[in-house]
Structures are given as C-alpha cells and as structure tokens.
Structure 1
Amino acid sequence: MKYVIGVDLGTSAVKILLVNQKGEVCQEISKSYPLIIEKSGYSEQNPEEWVKKTSEGLTELVQQFNGNVKDIEGISFSGQMHGLVLLDQDKKVLRNAILWNDTRTTAQCQEIYNVMGKERLLEVTKNPALEGFTLPKILWVKEQESQIYERSRVFMLPKDYLRFRMTGNIHMEYSDAAGTLMLNVAKREWSTEILSLFNISPKFCPPLVESHECVGTITAEFASTTGLSEATKVFAGGADNACGAIGSGILSEGKTLSSIGTSGVVLSYEERNDLDFKGKVHYFNHGEENAYYTMGVTLAAGFSLSWFKETFANQEAFDQFLEGVDSVPPGSNGLLFTPYIVGERTPHADSNIRGSFIGINASHERKHFVRAVLEGITFSLNESIEIFRQNGKTIDTIVSIGGGAKNEIWLQMQADIFDAKIEKLSSEQGPGMGAAMLAAYGCGWFTSLKECADRFIQTSKTYYPIKENVETYKKLFVIYQQVYTQTKILNDQLTEFRK
C-alpha cells in the first residue's frame, strides 16, 4: 500500500494526515502553536514555529507508522492565506509573519484605492482591498519598518515558507497567490501593473506553479530530522479554502460548499475567469488547474455560537446546550440574531457593525435564543448564496462541513434556508484531505482530481428542503437583510464607547 501526507498549516495548529490509496486516513496528528498579539488589531506568528511543530508532527507520524517509509510517496500542503513572510538575501526570516486576521492596514488599503482605483483593482485581482490581504501588509512594512523592507528580497505565504524549509526551493501556487492582491487572477500571472504602481520588483514575487506540481523532494537534513525518505516528493499545495473545496469534492460547476468553523465560508466552483461580482464576494484561482472559485465569508459563524454558549451556558456540554432547539419552530417565535459580533465580511465589509437580537419578548426562553443564533449564522451565509444566484449561478446541492455538519437540526436548517439539497460527508477532513489529494494526484495515482474525489469522498446523508420551512425562512430572510442597514448608524455611534 502506498501513502501520501496532507499538511494543513492553520492559524492555531498544524494538522497532519497520512492517507492511503483508498482515501482512508491512517494517522492524524495535530500540533498547536501560539499567536503573537502585541497590540489591538495585530496578529503575528513566528514562522519557525510552523517548521518546528510540523517537524515534530511528522517525526511522530513516522515513529507510529508500521510500514516502509519509502511507501510514503508524496506530501502536499494546505495553508492559511494572505500571511506575509519576508526573507533577506540569505533566505532568512526578517520579522514575524503578519497573519490574515491582522487589521493594522486600513490606511494601506485606502492607499491602494487612491493609487489604482477600486474598479481597476477589481478588474485585475477580482477582489477589493481588505486588511487581511498581503499587499497592504507589504506596504505597511515598507512605510513603518523601512529598514526591514529594504533588506527584503522575496515574500512568501505561510505554507510556502514551510515547504521552502523542507525542500530548499521557493515557489508559490495560484490559489494562494490569488489572495495577495498582486495576481492577475484571470491571466494567472503576477500583475506588472500593480508591481509597477507600488514600486515592487518582480523578483520580490516567487515563481508560480500549479497546486499539484512537484517542486522537489525533501532535503537530507529534513529527512534525517523526521525519518521520512529523501525520495519523498513534495507538491506545491493550495490555499486552505481551495484545499477545503478539493477535500469536499467541489470540483465541477454547480458544486457549492458550506463550511462553518470559527468563521463561515460559502464557496462555489467556477469554470470561467470573467464573471463580475463587483467585489461583493471573493474570486480566487482554485487548486485545480485552470479553475476558479467564488467565496463569501461570515466572520463570526461558529464563533457566534461558542460565544453565546460560553457567555450564558459555560458549564454545559454542547449537546445539553442545544437541547430543546428542535421544539422551537422556524423563526424562533419572532426572534432574529445577526452574527456581526466581530464585524462582518460578506456582503458588508464593515469592521464597526455589531450583532443584534431583534424581537425579544417575555415568552422567549434560552432555547429560542440558541435557535435564533443558528438561524442568524445561516442567514448570513445565505447572503453569499443569494449573490451567487443573482449572478446566474444554479445552486441546488451544497456540501456542508465543519461545526454546521455535526448537528442534524442545523443541517436541516441549512437545507431550508438555502433552499437546496445538503450533503453530509461520511468522513470529513477538510483542507488536510484536499492537500493529500493534491499529493495523490501529483504522484500519478489518478488521472484527475475529480477521479481522486470519486474514490476518496463519499456522502453519508442527504437533507432536503421542507417546503413550508423554506417559505417561512424566505420571509424572515427579507427582514434579516434589513437589520444591517437599520442598525449601522447606531453601531457607528456606539464605537466610541467600546473598550
């Protein structure tokens, strides 16, 4: 039996999967590492922590592996997007990585609009200038840490730095490069226009490769450290959302993903590179060659639920916390929740907006509030689905993963609010499985990622929309959509009182 490894380099931990040719997960190891938060709005990590913890995890995996390490043929990666790693001429890290959830770059985002214009930026990159993207971080370092910037010779993204440390080779693949705000997404090349406007050398940008492309083998040093064979092939990998899509089988038109973790993502496969969503949703290169995906983001999806539980039912297990929700009718007896507790991303890129409970009355019990939170999160995700549909996409089947796929009530709720068939996977491994599939395809086990998905991914249960619930939720969704505009001014006025 042959094996591949999928490495998912997340924000709080690295997750490593050993997968065999049947798509079975034979081993799973996770190693956590800390965030560095020097002040409000800052979020950084030491890139060496990624290397150290991944090395430890791979060493542990090899020690537990009963077969011949030479049968582990390949390794690939999924990684947190947008994070900035700067290397000097000796390929040494110059400062901590600035992560995707760092929000210090509002002024640099405005600078990008001032220099390039919003419309032209959207034409080239398919995305607006948001604080999370990489270009604003580069401009911040250029302005605030000029000595470090002057010593910089190349920038990298998190998983690409980890892969560089394993192979000694520097590359970036399209799905992650699409989140830098420097890639011409349709042409699949670094934008010479953007680089010129911001006086960035083309040499500052790594060579671009396909996600399934072999970019080398692991070094003798890394093999000695972990116990892996020096013959292990290393593949470029993909951005976490692209790999999550691959690992969920989102590899053809009409396929859509609903992923509810701390944040929530609705992601839909696109064959075309010329759709115009006017920046309302993200539009990135997929991990599959010459494919794309559109994506909407709810900043506090599962986080809204965990916040509510920790605040009002901290001692209870989640099953106990959710008891009685199934006895509450759709609409929670006239109670609405908006999950804007840390701001919002799609369709409202608004860092000041905050969440609301609307319609509280004396008859409401805790179970009504819990159901309203579940419905509010799902309504927020549905805003992205509605944008897709308004732009002519047919969305009738949605694969649900993450926390939203762990509860039968929530799965049915998604079917009813999205008005679509919801599929729950028999084995859900998300981005780590997508990374493993890229390695399996790269190793030649399959002729395409779709063939790999047919072997590796199975649906365990399907949920269908209930007509009367769909009609109820359509009426409620219209009201939900009004809450943002009705509360925006109030929230802006409350900003000065927040601590």
Structure 2
Amino acid sequence: MKYVIGVDLGTSAVKILLMNQKGEVCQEVSKSYPLIQEKSGYSEQNPEEWVEKTIAGLAELVDQFEGNIEAIEGMSFSGQMHGLVLLDHDHQVLRNAILWNDTRTTKQCREIERVVGKEKLLEITKNPALEGFTLPKLLWVKEHEPEVFEKSAIFLLPKDYLRYRLTGLLHSEYSDAAGTLLLDVAGKKWSKDMCELLGINIELCPPLVASHEQTGTITNEIAEQTGLFKTVKVFAGGADNACGAIGSGILSEGNTMCSIGTSGVVLSYEARGDQDFAGKVHYFNHGEADGFYTMGVTLAAGYSLSWFKDVFAEEIDFDTLLEGIEDVPVGANGLLFTPYLVGERTPHADSAIRASFIGMDASHERKDFVRAVLEGITFSLNESIEIFRENGKNIDTVVSIGGGAKNEHWLQMQADIFNVKIVKLASEQGPGMGAAMLAAFGSGWFASLQECADAFLSITESYKPNEENVQKYKQLFKLYQDVYKSTKQLNEELLVYRK
C-alpha cells in the first residue's frame, strides 16, 4: 500500500493527514500555534512556528506509523490565504507574517482603487481591493516599515513559505497567488501593470507553478528531523478554499460547495476566467488545472452560532443547543437574525454593519433564537447563491461541509433556503483532503483529479427541498435583505459608542 500526506496550514493549527490509495485517512495529527495581536485590527504570526509545528507533527505521524515509511510517496499543502511573508536576499524572514484577518490596510485599499481604478482592478485581478488581500499589506509595509521593504527580495504566502522550508525551493501557485491582487487571474501570470502602477518590483513575486506540479523533494535535514525518506515528492498544493473544493469534488462546471466553519463560504466551479461578476463575489484560480472558482463569504457563519452559545447557553454543548429546532416552524415564530457580528463580506463588503435580532417578543424561547440564528446564517450564504444565479449559473446540487453538515435539520434548512439538493460526503476532511488528493494525483496514482475524487469521495446522505418551505423562505429572504438596508445608517451612527 502506498501513502501520501496532506498538510493543511490553518490560522490556528497545522493539520496533517496520512492517506492511503483507497482514500482512507490512516492517521491525523494537529499542532496549534498562537496569533500575535499587538493592536486592534492587527493579526500576525511567526512563520517559524508553522515550520516547527509541522516538523513536530510529521515526526509524530512517522513515529506512530506501523507500515513501511518508504511507502509514503508524496506530500502537498493547503494553506490560509493572503498572508504576507517577506524574505531578504538570504531568504531570511524579515518580520512576522501579516495574516488574512488583519484589517490595518483600509488606507492602502483606497490607494489601490485610486491609482489603478476599480474597473481596471477587476479586469486584471477579478477582485476588489479588500483589507484581507496581500497587496495592501505589502503597501502598508512599504509605507510604515520602509527599512523592511528595502531589504525585501521576495514575498511568499504562508503555505508557500512552509513548503520552501521543507524543500529549499521558492515557488507560489495560481490558486493562492490569485488572492494577492497582483495576479492576472485569467492570464495566470503576475501583472506587470499592477506592479508598475503601485511601485512594486515584479521580482518580489515568486515563480508560479500549477497546484499538482512537483516542487522538489524534502531536504536531507527535514528527512532526518521527521523520519521520512528524502525521496518524498513535494507538490505545490493550493489555497485552503481551492483545496477544500478539490476535497469536496468541486471539479467541473456547475459543481457548488457550501462550507460552514467560523466563516462561511459558497464556492462554485468556473471553467472560464473571462466572466464578469462585477466584483460581487471573489474570482480565483482553482487548484484543478485551467479551472477557476467563484466564492461568496459570510464572515460570521459558524461564529454566530458559537457566539450565541457562549453568551446565552455556555453551560451546554452544541448538540443540546440544537435540540428542538425541528419543532420550531419556518421563520422561527416571527424572529429574524442577521449574522453581521464582525461586519459582512458578500454581498455588502461592509465593516461597520452589525448583527440584529428583529421581531423579538416575550413568547420566544431559546430554541426560537437558535433556529433564527441558523436561518440567518443560511440566508446570508444564499445571497451568494443568488448572485451566481443572477449571472446565469444553474445550481441544483450543493455539497455541504463543515459545521453546517453536522445537523440533519440544518442540512434540510439549507436545501429549503437554497432550493437545491444538499448532499453530505461520507468522509469530510476539507482542505487537508484536497492537499492529499493533489499529492496522489501528482504521484501518478490517478490520471486526473476527477478520477481521484471518484475513488476517494462518496455521498452518504442527500436532502431535497420541501416546496412548501421553499416558498415561505423566499418571502422571508426578502425581509432578511431589507434588514441590511434598514439598519446600515443606524449602525454607522452607533460606531462612536463601540469599544
């Protein structure tokens, strides 16, 4: 039996999967690391933490493995997007990595819009200037830490830096590069126009490869530290959402995924890079060769539910919290929730908007509030579904993964609100699975990623929309959309009272 490793470099931990040729997860190791948040809006990490914890995790995996270590053939990566790692000419890290959830760069985003122009920005990068992306971070360093910027020879994204430390070779790949605002997404190359307009030396941008391409083998030093054979092939990997899509079988036109974690994502496969969504959703290169994907984001999806539990029901677990929601009718007995706890991304890109419960009265019980929270999260995700449909996409089936796939009543709610068939996978490992599949494909186990998905993935449950509920939710969705318009000005005026 042969094996591959999928390494998922997340925001709070690195998760490492060992998978065999049958698509079975044989071992799983996770190692956590801290965030560095010195000021409000700042979010950084020490890249050395990623390396140390990954090496420790690989060593633990090898130590527990009872098979032939030489049978572990390949390794690939998934990683948190947008983070900025700056290296000097000796490839030493110059400062902490600035992460995707760092929001210090609003000024730089407005500068990008002014210099490049919103229309040209969308034409080249397919995405608006948002604080999370890499280019605004690079411009922030240029302005506020000029001595660091002057020493910079190359920038890397988080998982690309980790891979460099394991192989000694510098690369990025298209799916992660698409989240920098420096990539010509359709042309699959770094944009000279973006670099020249904003005073960025294009040589700061690393060489580009496809997600399934081999980028060397592990170094002798890493082999010694982990116990792996130095012949382990290393493949480029992909951005976390691209790998999540691969790990969910989103590999051809019309395939769509709903992932509910702390944030929520609706992601749909695109065969072409020349479509125009006017910046309403993200438009990135896929980890599947020549593919793309569009993606809408709800910033506080699962976080809305965990927030409600922590504040109002800390003493119980999530299963107990969700008990009885099936007995609450559609519309939560006249209670509506908008999940804007930390602002919103799709379709509003509004950092000032905040959450609301609308329609509360003395008759409401905790289960009404819980159902309202679930409905509100799902309504927010449906905004992305509707954008896709308005642009001509036919969506009739959605693969649901993450926290939203753990409760059958929430799955049925997704089917009713999205008006699609919802399917649940037998084994859900998300981005780590996608990374392992890239390693399996790169190692020659399969002729294509689709063939790999056919072998590794299977559906265990499906939920069809209830037509009566569909019609009720269509009316409620209109009310949900009205809440944003009705509370936008109120929330802006309340800004002065926030901590």
Shorter-normalised TM-score: what interval?
Answer: over 0.9
Separation in 2 of the partners of 1:320 and 1:286? 38
Shift of 1:290: 0.4
How many residues are matched? 499
CA deviations on 1:176-228 (whole Å, 9 max, x unpaired) are: 00000000000000000001111211211000000000010000000000000
Shift of 1:254: 1.2
Trace 1:247-266 onto structure 2 (pairs within 5 A): 247-266=247-266
Separation in 2 of the partners of 1:455 and 1:319? 32
Task: Give the letter for the 1:212 counterpart.
Answer: H
Q: Percent identity?
A: 74
Shift of 1:470: 0.3
Instruction: Tell me which residue corresponds to 1:117.
Output: 117
Q: Which moved more, 1:357-366 or 1:414-423?
A: 357-366
Instruction: Tell me which residue corresponds to 2:389.
Output: 389
Shift of 1:67: 1.3
CA deviations on 1:271-325 (whole Å, 9 max, x unpaired) are: 0111111000000000001000000000000000000000000010111111111
Instruction: Tell me which residue corresponds to 1:172.
Output: 172
Instruction: Tell me which residue corresponds to 1:65.
Output: 65
Separation in 2 of the partners of 1:357 and 1:82? 33
Shift of 1:346: 0.2
| Alignment pair present for 1:400 and 2:382 | no
| Alignment pair present for 1:36 and 2:36 | yes
Instruction: Tell me which residue corresponds to 1:221.
Output: 221
Consecutive unaligned residues of structure 1, counting only runs of 5 or more, are none
Separation in 2 of the partners of 1:84 and 1:498? 30
Trace 1:229-244 onto structure 2 (pairs within 5 A): 229-244=229-244
Separation in 2 of the partners of 1:442 and 1:319? 40
Instruction: Tell me which residue corresponds to 2:467.
Output: 467
Instruction: Tell me which residue corresponds to 1:348.
Output: 348
Separation in 1 of the partners of 2:349 and 2:74? 39
Shift of 1:73: 0.3
Shift of 1:30: 0.4
Instruction: Tell me which residue corresponds to 2:308.
Output: 308
Task: Give the letter for the 1:375 counterpart.
Answer: E
Shift of 1:8: 0.2
Helix, strand or coil: the match of 1:135?
Answer: helix
Separation in 2 of the partners of 1:321 and 1:68? 45
Separation in 2 of the partners of 1:245 and 1:212? 14
Shift of 1:395: 0.3
Separation in 1 of the partners of 2:117 and 2:82? 21
| Alignment pair present for 1:82 and 2:79 | no
Instruction: Tell me which residue corresponds to 1:147.
Output: 147
Task: Give the letter for the 2:321 counterpart.
Answer: F
Task: Give the letter for the 1:374 counterpart.
Answer: L
Helix, strand or coil: the match of 2:473?
Answer: helix
Instruction: Tell me which residue corresponds to 1:323.
Output: 323
Instruction: Tell me which residue corresponds to 2:131.
Output: 131
Shift of 1:118: 0.4
Helix, strand or coil: the match of 2:481?
Answer: helix
Separation in 1 of the partners of 2:105 and 2:200? 18
Once superposed, which parts of structure 1, at least 4 consecutive aligned residues long, lie more than 2 Å away?
Answer: none
Instruction: Tell me which residue corresponds to 2:201.
Output: 201
| Alignment pair present for 1:92 and 2:92 | yes
Shift of 1:253: 1.0
Shift of 1:85: 0.1
- Report the RMSD for the aligned CA atoms in angstroms: 0.4
CA deviations on 1:409-452 (whole Å, 9 max, x unpaired) are: 10000000000000000110000000000000000000000000
Separation in 2 of the partners of 1:179 and 1:317? 36
Instruction: Tell me which residue corresponds to 2:366.
Output: 366
Task: Give the letter for the 2:324 counterpart.
Answer: G
Separation in 2 of the partners of 1:124 and 1:13? 33
Instruction: Tell me which residue corresponds to 2:45.
Output: 45
Separation in 2 of the partners of 1:479 and 1:324? 24
Trace 1:278-317 onto structure 2 (pairs within 5 A): 278-317=278-317
Helix, strand or coil: the match of 1:460?
Answer: strand
Separation in 1 of the partners of 2:178 and 2:324? 44
Helix, strand or coil: the match of 1:14?
Answer: strand
CA deviations on 1:331-369 (whole Å, 9 max, x unpaired) are: 101110000000000001000000000111221111100
| Alignment pair present for 1:26 and 2:20 | no
Separation in 2 of the partners of 1:39 and 1:195? 29
Consecutive unaligned residues of structure 2, counting only runs of 5 or more, are none
Helix, strand or coil: the match of 2:293?
Answer: strand
Separation in 2 of the partners of 1:198 and 1:274? 24
CA deviations on 1:77-119 (whole Å, 9 max, x unpaired) are: 0000000000001100000000000000000000001100001
Helix, strand or coil: the match of 1:186?
Answer: coil
Helix, strand or coil: the match of 2:14?
Answer: strand
TM-score by length of 2: 1.00
Helix, strand or coil: the match of 2:427?
Answer: coil
TM-score by length of 1: 1.00
Shift of 1:69: 1.2
Helix, strand or coil: the match of 1:363?
Answer: coil
Shift of 1:27: 0.2
Shift of 1:484: 0.5
Task: Give the letter for the 1:237 counterpart.
Answer: G
Shift of 1:175: 0.1
Task: Give the letter for the 2:251 counterpart.
Answer: L
Task: Give the letter for the 2:495 counterpart.
Answer: T
Task: Give the letter for the 1:269 counterpart.
Answer: Y
Trace 1:411-450 onto structure 2 (pairs within 5 A): 411-450=411-450
Separation in 1 of the partners of 2:105 and 2:202? 22
Separation in 2 of the partners of 1:117 and 1:149? 24
CA deviations on 1:450-494 (whole Å, 9 max, x unpaired) are: 000000000000000001000000000011011101100000000
| Alignment pair present for 1:481 and 2:478 | no
Shift of 1:242: 0.1
CA deviations on 1:379-428 (whole Å, 9 max, x unpaired) are: 00000000000000000000000000000110000000000000000110
Separation in 2 of the partners of 1:96 and 1:418? 41
Helix, strand or coil: the match of 1:5?
Answer: strand
Helix, strand or coil: the match of 1:399?
Answer: strand
Instruction: Tell me which residue corresponds to 1:184.
Output: 184
Separation in 2 of the partners of 1:369 and 1:277? 34
